[in-house]
Structure 1
């Protein structure tokens, strides 16, 4: 199977990753589909395959991603059930994203599904400890994760002042933020102009990041995807509060633009630290910024174009002038009306392609924008089909989306993270259908 995922010049990729994680080998998973593609046996490494797709070229097969960033992953509970379904024993389920409860896919899982991408973050956890998931199954969490359990079973996290900032209900699946927006109290642009939003990374963090990126690049053939360069609109929502920020955009554009300018400055300063550490090693860099809802953009295209786009373009221009990696945006929802502006601002890869949202028809998107932007995701609907459909409905969905979005300029993954209670047989059917396409 390793020879199918890539054409490694050293040990199989799963063995390389086991050495990185110091995990013991495990029993082999059940047999994946035959690795026959339109071009026969693979002629590209995973890295070459992803770069080709992001460059709007046709690779030897459609690249596949599971867990390359925080919106293409799988919840830890679901991951445990998937491993059991595949007959994979042992190993460690590490939950690296505590809010979304996401597992870090292990080498055998990546190989089993023909995955081509590894994630890379700054300040990745180094020490782990046992934890019990809401369904009672085990995992490991970063050593510094210490939630408090209330009398009703709710798990909460507190800040240094003792205030609850995040909670996981006893019958819930996620930690949801509930803290106060830190800049909600500011009422004028002049006050906002005094705020400094730049928090520099330490030299040790940057050195560790460079060493990690170099090691992954030199010891595997996977594409490397860096997340952590920030966003503009979405970060402003967090700083001001969702409702207040939308009122700022509509009623106080001077204050809104002042905050965005300050945040853009800070994000550029962070990028100036990070990009030299990963240059030549990472093939994709991720910026966030949800701009869509289920039925359309969060703001009018005119508002985006006038207020947000100039700041976004300044940020994107800096990134693209300081890295050879492709610029990837994660923006949920219906963003069809904003795509021309995103492309013009410098975005090269769009994720997730939320196919159940209005105007996000994959055939239409490919016909209208496929020569200008690559699509990463949209391979299977995660709102309806993957969690609730039959195995055959999942396969049919995958075939349609690959037909619409491929063969060039497309990286396959489901629309968003694979959620709790998604049947493992549907997950296997999804990835097997993608490998067989």
Structure 2
């Protein structure tokens, strides 16, 4: 297979800025080179442990490892690291006003929001406690991230129960310890837009299906879809409407400064969609369509980025239909998610943002040469004709060799030019 080269071949005499490069890709065009995303969203980043190891590998001293996502323990990528790997995208999310020193699971240092105060429970876990005194989420002593303990709202048993939990449901997409106001976020967004040439990725959230699973418990909600459609649909409709109201305030504040709006809703598993496609279309898709249609009506020329893990091949036409412009993470190791196949079938209708290196096997377990070969293959598959932003499949986890992380981004720069 011939390697990918820019359509004009040879030397590019007019290099694009990062923002121009990403905007061209988002428009389905072929930019001067493949845009690179190094920690530019909450689903294309690095766990704090992996980030600290990478900085040590690079010989970068000083700075700080701030966890902008507590549950997933994700580090805010500093400008020096982004520049080292030629990143074109910068993340815009609601931050904490005050930070304090903390320690990651491996003992390495980080910073967390001042308001983050988990408690130690009997099994040694760090836990966030609910109003009933029971843990909502916890991190086991040797675990790298936090996981739900059970349903967030176990008392929701029928549609009439939902309303009393309205404030809590809204909080699931915005943790209270990240306490900036929208005015604060807008000021940072304006600075990034005016003072830098990065593409700005606004992190909104917008979970419907995944959030319903969190609220009711995954098993319970999947059973609801089969045996209690009234409750399932009432919950999804409530979430969609809450997201619509929150989005109106969000886009008014920061919309002029964004290039892409990022939302998430995991629909896939390793071997296929979580739901039979017919069930998805009948029960879940209408609420996603309601939300996404409203968002698109307010976004102007901004693009809508959806993170949806796993094998979503069977659902991609539906996602395109309801307004998704960009698909992430493009989990190439899942069933039916071959990069060449995806590009051939859907490359004219959706932008692929991700899929640049398999994070289940190649990045954590392969050699640096394996990583380089993987990156070259994916760029050769995805880049022709444009409509592609390079990054790995989802967030990089602890234990991934830092030399492989560096090899991945260096190969993307080498082969994407």
* 1:399 corresponds to: 376
- Among 321, 342, 345, the alignment partner of 1:365 is 342
Structure 1 residue 189 displacement after superposition: 4.0
Q: What does residue 375 of structure 1 align with?
A: 352
Q: Which moved more, 1:291-300 or 1:278-287?
A: 278-287
Bigger Cα displacement from structure 2, 346-355 vs 310-319: 310-319
Distance in 2, matches of 1:133 and 1:77, equals: 7
2:391 is aligned, of 395, 407, 413, to 413
The alignment's TM-score, normalised by the length of structure 1, stands at 0.87
Q: 1:276-287 to 2 correspondence within 5 Å?
A: 276-287=252-263
Deviations 1:216-246 (A, max 9, x none): 1111110111112412111111121111111
Report the CA distance between 1:98 and its aligned residue: 1.6
Deviation string 1:155-199 (CA, Å, 9 cap, x unpaired) is: 2222344322222212221111215331x4334345557874675
- Indicate the larger mover: 190-199 or 284-293: 190-199
Give the drift of 1:151: 6.1
In structure 2, the residue matched to 1:264 is 240
1:137 aligns with 2:108: yes
Query: C-alpha displacement at 1:55, in angstroms?
Result: 1.1
Whole-Å separation in 2 of the counterparts to 1:344 and 1:401: 26
Residue number in structure 1 paired with 2:155: 185
Residue 333 (structure 1) aligned with residue 310 (structure 2)? yes
SS at match of 2:251: helix
Q: Report whether the alignment pairs 1:299 with 2:275.
A: yes
Count of matched residue positions in the alignment of Structure 1 and Structure 2: 399
- Gaps of at least 5 residues in structure 2 are 1-8
1:318–1:88 Cα change, 3 Å: same
Q: Which of 427, 430, 434 in structure 1 is aligned with 2:405? A: 427
Cα deviation digits, residues 271-330 of structure 1 (max 9, x gap):
111111112201010111100000000101111111111221121111111013100000
Give 1:260 deviation, angstroms: 1.6
For residue 54 of structure 1, the aligned residue among 26, 37, 41 is 26
Q: Is 1:214 equivalent to 2:165 in the alignment?
A: no
CA contact (8 A) 1:297 1:334 kept: yes
CA-to-partner distance for each residue in 1:71-108, whole Å, 9 max, x for gaps?
Answer: 10001111111111111111111122121111111111
- Preserved contact between residue 95 and residue 104 of structure 1 (Cα < 8 Å): yes
Q: Confirm or deny: 8 A CA contact 1:229 1:287 kept in the other structure.
A: yes
Cα 1:191/1:157, change in 2 over 3 Å: closer
> Any conservation in 2 of the 1:195–1:262 contact (CA below 8 Å)?
no
Q: Which moved more, 1:388-397 or 1:253-262?
A: 253-262
CA RMSD of aligned residues (A): 2.1
Question: What is the TM-score normalised by the length of structure 2?
Answer: 0.91
Query: Residue 30 of structure 1 corresponds to which residue in structure 2?
Result: none
| Aligned-residue offset at 1:152 | 5.4
* 1:324-347, Cα deviation, whole Å (9 max, x unpaired): 310000000000000000000110
Matches within 5 A, 1:160-199: 160-182=131-153, 184-189=154-159, 191-192=161-162, 196=166, 199=170
Paired with 1:291 and 1:199, the residues of 2 have a C-alpha distance of 21
Identify which range, 199-208 or 40-49, moves more after superposition: 199-208
Shift in Å at residue 110 of structure 1?
Answer: 0.2
1-side partners of 2:311 and 2:143: how far apart?
Answer: 27
Q: Which of 297, 301, 322 is the equivalent residue of 1:345?
A: 322
Residue 149 of structure 1 contacts residue 156 of structure 1 at CA under 8 Å; is this kept in 2?
Answer: yes
Structure 1 unmatched ranges of 5 or more: 1-36
